[in-house]
Amino acid sequence: MSVVSDQTVDLREPTNWRRTKNRIATVVMWVAFVATLVPLILVLYTVVSKGIGAISWQFLSGSPIPPNIMPLGTGGMGPAVVGTLIITGFAALISIPLGVLGAVYINEYGGKGWLAKFIAFMADVMTGVPSIVMGLFIFTIWVLHFGYSGLAGSFALACLMLPIVIRSTYEMLLLVPNHLREASYALGATKSRVTLTVVLPAAVGGIVSGALLAVARAAGETAPLVLVILTVEATNTNLFSGANTALSTQIFVNAQSPYVGAEARAWGAALTLIVISFLLMIIARVVTARFTRYTR
Amino acid sequence: MSAVTKAGPATPAGSARPLAKARPLGDRAFALLALVAGLLVLVILVLIVVSTAQQSTSWFSTAGWSGIFSTVWNPATNQFGAMAFLYGTVIVSLIAIIISVPASVSIALLLTEVVPRRWAQPIVYVVDLLAVVPSVVWGLWGIIIFVPWVAPIYASIASGVHGIPVLDSLFGSPTAGASFFTAGLILAVMITPIITSLSREVIATVPQTDKEGAYALGATRWEMIRGAVWPHSQGGVVGAILVGLGRAMGETIAVALVAGSSAEVTSHLFAPGYPIAGVIVNQFPEASGEFRAALIGLGLLLFVITILVNLTARGFVERSARRMRGTS
């Protein structure tokens, strides 16, 4: 091994200095971890302590969203909650089936061909596309022609979720052992049947938890929504037409406002958003723990 | 099932011939569907370039190279120079990388080499929580809590370094709470989970035999990390850092709130700046015509930069993976 040859090799007990260096390195690693915890704890503490006062049934369901100057207690964030739920929900409805199918192509159909490899590579690259660029993209191909709508927001979020779903599904499909596929082929099943009734069910735990994590990321996504759905004060349950609003965009708007009421509503919305994201993440972990059959 | 009955007794046992000549229609339709879903990735990536390029041609053609790379950004006079924003993006993400990389790599080493396996998983969950907190919440916390808190600290650092040659131009006044450095700090926290998890994957592939070999030669753990783990995972870790860099450049909302929104090219890190993503999200809603074209053009520029960074990152990861196959 050439890799260790440049070290001074000493078969005696490590000298004090060598031990000290080792100890310093270990301490530095722990300090790095603790230092990373500090902002996390600060943010969570602030959001919970400032947001909890705003949360009430009235806040979560009340409508319309009051003007920034109004104090806490008038109106509510109902329109934003509805917007976040329907926009993220529809984005999940588009991107999860497509993402799973894409991963099925890469792993089951494309095999070792160049196209499958290229698509897998580009899906990886696509996870790096900034969310704001996705917003501009949907603005130019959709909003310019059909106007602002929740649907445009769903499209933007779906574009962001697609590569994440492909990636996580693909990794799960890789883990499904080949003998399962071979056994069902031996029974005379067609490829689509093998995929749908044997391969996908075997990997379902990992696929679901990957999809939930993608939804959690999308629910907090703000930049593309600011560009393609605008913000409104009244509840708009029609996903397909008219401007809409979401918790994340409301936080962004309120954060820039100098009024106390707007700030309080921003903290309340932030707490709601974090609770949604964390719930999705916890469900994902539970699903992984309960239903995963094959792990690395 | 149907394939079996179709084949009938005429097919000799052990024949390698396919049992059914034509695959059923449903089967072929499903294959086609999967192919279309796969191709969607490529279609979207191409459409991003085409649609944003089409909508921003008027900016590229009227401004010209000198106009695009000028530092003057004034919508009132139709002057749209991107230089200050490019500078903002580069500086802010460099600050983020410089702060985040030592921490991320340390945590990755802690998880793989120091902590026992059953403790590693809870630590991973905690670090991943950083990624679950939405960007806009970091921005909200940054602008309302962190910026007012940090502003006097910047001011006192600035007065402390006053007159010292290099430090003065980096950390001297003017200072503001919302600045390049604040944005970089918050980005550093946000990209730590991704760099940590990618580096951890790379470091986990170091062969056990290499590590045991180093220990057998009497190395301490730190010497083992330097001698066996590091040479092996260098390339992959560089890839992970580049992926983090790409994320930092594209991160929008937090930066839009805490960077200070002032289009300036200055060496003062505590002065307000304006990265590309920030200016797009702040000014797009009220933009139209040439102004909008310029913002979409900025988006295209950002897209090209992040794609290049990501492609380079994947290249590094691929290369180190290939070398690993060679040695093990």
Domains along the sequence of chain A with CATH: 59-291 (1.10.3720.10)
Return d(Cα A138, Cα A144) in angstroms, integer: 9
Q: Which residues make beta-bridge pairs with B79?
A: B74
Q: What residues of A are in contact with residue B302 (Cβ under 8 Å)? A: 130, 132-133
| Over residues B102-127, mean pLDDT | 91
| pLDDT greater at residue A132 or residue B19 | A132
Q: What are phi and psi of A70, to 5 degrees?
A: -70, 145
In degrees rounded to 5, what are phi and psi of residue B73? -125, 105
- Chain A residue numbers with beta carbons less than 8 Å from the beta carbon of B32 are none
Q: How far apart are CA B148 and CA A160, in angstroms?
A: 33
For each of the domains in chain B, give its residue range(s) and CATH number, in order of start: 59-327 (1.10.3720.10)
Check CB contact under 8 Å for B125 and A36.
Answer: no
What percentage of residues in chain B have a pLDDT greater than 70? 91
Is B164 near chain A, with CB under 8 Å? no
Residue B17 has pLDDT above 60, yes or no: no
DSSP calls for B145-192? IIHHHHHHHHHHHHHHSTT-HHHHHHH-SS--SSSHHHHHHHHHHHHH
Q: pLDDT tens for residues B198-244?
A: 999 899 888 999 999 999 988 899 999 999 999 889 889 999 999 99
ipTM of the complex: 0.90
**Hey, are the CB atoms on A125 and B31 less than 8 Å from each other?**
no
Asked if the model's pLDDT at residue B66 lies above 90, the reply is: no
* Distance between CA atoms of residues B77 and A161, nearest Å: 39
Q: pLDDT tens for residues A203-257?
A: 998 999 999 999 999 999 999 999 999 888 888 899 998 899 999 999 999 998 8
Angle made by CA atoms B137, B141, B145, in degrees to the nearest 5? 170
Residues A231/A245, Cβ–Cβ less than 8 Å: yes
Chain B interface test: which of A136, A199, A231, A277 (most B C-beta within 10 Å): A136
- Amino acid B183 reads A
In this complex, do B220 and A21 lie within 8 Å of one another by their Cβ atoms?
yes
Considering only the beta carbons, identify the residue of B4, B135, B249 that sits closest to A220: B135
Query: What token pair was written down for B25?
Result: 């229609």
Backbone φ and ψ for A185, nearest 5 degrees, come out as: -60, -40
What pLDDT was estimated at residue B21? Answer: 60
* Contacts by residues B287-294 (CB-CB < 8 Å, ≥ 24 positions apart): B287/B75, B290/B58, B290/B59, B290/B62, B290/B78, B290/B80, B291/B75, B291/B78, B291/B80, B292/B55, B293/B55, B293/B56, B293/B57, B293/B58, B293/B59, B294/B56, B294/B59, B294/B63, B294/B80, B294/B82
Preferred mutation among B119, B206, B253, B261 to probe A, highest tally of A CBs within 10 A: B253
- Phi, psi at residue B123, to the nearest 5°? -65, -40
Residues in B closer than 8 angstroms to A251, CB to CB, are 136-137, 139-140
Q: How confident is the model at residue A75 (pLDDT cuts 50, 70, 90)?
A: confident
Phi, psi of B80 (to 5 degrees): -125, 85
Nearest to A83 by CA among A239, A228, A223, A213: A239
How many other C-beta atoms are found inside a 10 Å radius of the C-beta of residue B20?
15
